[in-house]
Amino acid sequence: MKNLAVIGSGTMGNGIAHVFAQYGFNVSLIDLKQEFLDKALAKIQKNMDRQVAKGVISEVEKEAALGRINTFTSMPDGVKNSDLVVEAATENMEIKLDLFRQLDEAAPEGAILASNTSSISITKIAAATKRPNKVIGMHFMNPVPVMKLIEVIRGYATSDETTEIIMALSKELEKVPVEVNDYPGFVANRILMPMINEAIYSLYEGVAGVEEIDTVMKLGMAHPMGPLQLADFIGLDVCLSILRVLHEGFGNPKYAPCPLLVNMVEAGFKGAKTGEGFYAYTQGSKDLIVSSQFKK
Ligand SMILES: NC(=O)c1ccc[n+]([C@@H]2O[C@H](COP(=O)([O-])OP(=O)(O)OC[C@H]3O[C@@H](n4cnc5c(N)ncnc54)[C@H](O)[C@@H]3O)[C@@H](O)[C@H]2O)c1
């Protein structure tokens, strides 16, 4: 396996392209507009510069890796010689089903089609193709060049062969792959999102304030970041939509999103990306400032 395509050049797509290129693969990076691709290339370059400064890779290795990335705005052109396609487009069921239908037509017959989805059923995505045995989840974590885990998700029809290839490939990237079955939230978000939701309930019910909740989890459980800060970084809209997938997928009220989370998303307070969630994110400031909404 030498040639692969990455669909979507956003937060995850540029990180995935970066890592594959760093480990010697030829990467076709695909997005809807050239300006998105140019932005992604600039981000990859900046992140590789940081790796050079830290001594992780040499300047020569950086240049070689960047030289292995080509960009495409035409999906069929980008995937036509690929052994593997990793889809990291926007988290939307219709977009993904549509993409996989088209990918099935455009990618070589033997190519494996992987999705980086956080919450959409791999089984459902696979069923949109005529090669469900070759469809699999490859759930990288953010930031991709730094985080070691890849959750490898087997859909109902994913073959042993496909799984073995993806597990071995993940190790070639010096990541740690973990094989899981396809049920709502897989393992990572099935455990993480209820914890975040419970932290929001604790705030909503007045058990403790924002900083107090995060401090308990940081100092008491040795988490590097409190659950409310983490929710802000993931995006509160993303957390809400994953909780809805869990709630609907299991039909269990224990996954019902906290009304405070719903209100915050509806009001446009989606966390770091909108400048405010549980904390306020002021440009250039390194201090965490609790949002005025939650100050006692
Ligand atoms: N952000 C995270 O922390 C994170 C972590 C793990 C998994 N994921 C998953 O990774 C995927 C991508 O998330 P992201 O945060 O990088 O999103 P993003 O919004 O940063 O990037 C998505 C990119 O996909 C492009 N795109 C949309 N439709 C396309 C199409 N038809 N063809 C080509 N490109 C298309 C968009 O233009 C955009 O550049 C999602 O499935 C998400 O659930 C995200």
Pairing type for strands 112-115 and 84-87 reads parallel
pLDDT digits (tens, 9 = 90+) for 27-43: 999 999 999 999 999 99
Q: Is the predicted pLDDT of residue 296 greater than 80, yes or no?
A: no
pTM for the model: 0.93
Scanning the structure block, which residue is given the tokens 């705030």? 203
Q: Report the SS3 class of residue 253.
A: helix
**What local confidence, expressed as pLDDT, does residue 286 receive?**
78
Per-residue tokens: 184: 């709502």
The question of whether 118 is a catalytic residue gets the answer yes
Q: Is 119 a catalytic residue?
A: no
| Nearest residue to 66 via CA among 45, 39, 85 | 45
Cα 273 to ligand 1 centroid, rounded to whole Å: 15
Provide the pLDDT confidence category of residue 143 given band limits of 50, 70 and 90.
very high
DSSP 265-276: HHTT--BGGGTB
Indicate the pairing of strand 149-154 with strand 176-181.
parallel
Residues lining ligand 1, Cβ inside 6 A: 7-13, 30-32, 36, 75, 88-91, 95, 99, 116-118, 139, 142, 234
Instruction: Fill in the amino acid letter for 289.
Output: I
Q: Which amino acid is it at 86?
A: V
Residue 179: per-residue pLDDT? 98
Q: Is 29 helix (H, G, I), strand (E, B) or coil?
A: strand
Instruction: Give the model's confidence band at 287: pLDDT under 50 very low, under 70 low, under 90 confident, else very high.
Output: confident
Q: Residue 9 class from Cβ within 10 Å (0-12 exposed, 13-18 middle, 19+ buried)? A: buried
Residue 154 CB contacts under 8 Å (≥ 6 apart), including other chains: 122, 136, 137, 163, 179, 180, 181, 182
Residue 149 has pLDDT above 80, yes or no: yes
Q: What per-residue confidence (pLDDT) applies to 283?
A: 81
Check residue 257 and report its DSSP letter.
Answer: P
Please pick, among 87, 91, 151, 276, the residue that the annotation labels catalytic: 151
| 151 in catalytic set | yes
| Residue 284 binned pLDDT confidence (cut-offs 50, 70, 90) | confident
pLDDT at 107 over 80: yes
The residue nearest atom 2 of ligand 1, judged by CA position, is 142
With 90 as the cut, is the pLDDT of residue 159 above it? Answer: yes
Q: What is the mean pLDDT of the chain?
A: 96
Write out pLDDT tens, residues 208-251: 999 999 999 999 999 999 999 999 999 999 999 999 999 999 99
Q: How far away, in angstroms, is 31 Cα from ligand 1 center? A: 10
- The pLDDT confidence band at residue 1, using thresholds 50, 70 and 90, is confident
Q: What is the average per-residue pLDDT within 42-56?
A: 97
